Amino acid sequence: MRLILLGAPGAGKGTVAKLLTKLDGSVQISTGDILRGAVQAGTELGKKAEAFMKAGDLVPDELIMGIMEQRLQEPDCAKGFLLDGFPRTIPQAEALKGLLTKLAIDLDAAVDIDVPREVILDRLTTRRTCSNPSCQAIYNVKSNPPRVAGVCDRCGSPVIQRDDETEEAISKRLDTYNEKTAPLVDYYRKEGLLMSVATTSSDDVVNAVKQKIGL
């Protein structure tokens, strides 16, 4: 399948993407994970992105498009992909449209996961992430803590609160989302690709997608 996942930070895009990859071998492409990996590895990309990310601001469109142009041409995308956290702005959506036309790739849908703001705020302040760049497993101190506090179940690395998950940065990320990313819902409606799912259950989203693309 070839999908864009839309929705505020904390709406569950990453969780849904991981469930969907199991259905047909599509890969999850998370620009946030790619950027955090680059910051930890200290690459040029990471150095350019770090300050924007820490403040809860978006990384400039040119950097993101450079990453995506390469990533979408890697062989593992042949079975499909789930774009998680990209596009985030109208210019990114337009650039993506051009890129997909160039690569002769059609999208199945842009899925908007619509979750109430109170739920989002609660999820983000209680979210914890594995600090190992190649793992980045997600936990929640209330609903899904690691078996040993502060230690990743999967790889044993420390589980931490992300720099951009302080209350101040979270509120900034939600404002940025409303201003820059929420307009994509209308954009994809006009493109005839929008599928909206209002739920706090990742399984509901997965079932709606399965139905839509006939899996």
**Catalytic residue numbers, as ranges:** 13, 88, 127, 162, 173
**Cβ 42 to ligand ADP shortest distance, Å:** 17
Which residues have a Cβ under 8 Å from the Cβ of 174 and sit 6 or more positions away? 8, 9, 117, 120, 121
Name the segment binding ligand ADP (CB under 6 A); options: 17-25, 29-37, 137-145, 153-161.
29-37
Q: Is 146 in the site for ligand ADP (CB under 6 A)?
A: no
Q: Which ranges of the chain would DSSP assign to H, the alpha helix?
A: 13-24, 31-41, 44-54, 61-71, 90-103, 117-126, 167-176, 183-190, 202-213
Task: Give the integer Cα–Cα distance in Å for 112 and 13.
Answer: 9
The footprint of ligand ADP on residues 102-141 (CB under 6 A) is none
Nearer to ligand ADP, 57 or 114 (CB): 57
Q: CA torsion sign, 212 to 18 to 122 to 7?
A: negative
Task: Give the integer Cα–Cα distance in Å for 77 and 72.
Answer: 6
CA neighbor of 95 nearest in space, from 72, 61, 48, 70: 61
Interface characters, 41-60, with ligand ADP (x: CB under 6 A): -----------xx--xxxx-
Q: Is 85 in the site for ligand ADP (CB under 6 A)?
A: yes
Q: Is 32 in the site for ligand ADP (CB under 6 A)?
A: yes
Nearer to ligand ADP, 95 or 109 (CB): 95
Q: Kindly list the residues in this chain that would bind ligand ADP in the complex (CB under 6 A).
A: 9, 31-32, 35, 52-53, 56-59, 64, 85-86, 88, 92, 164, 173
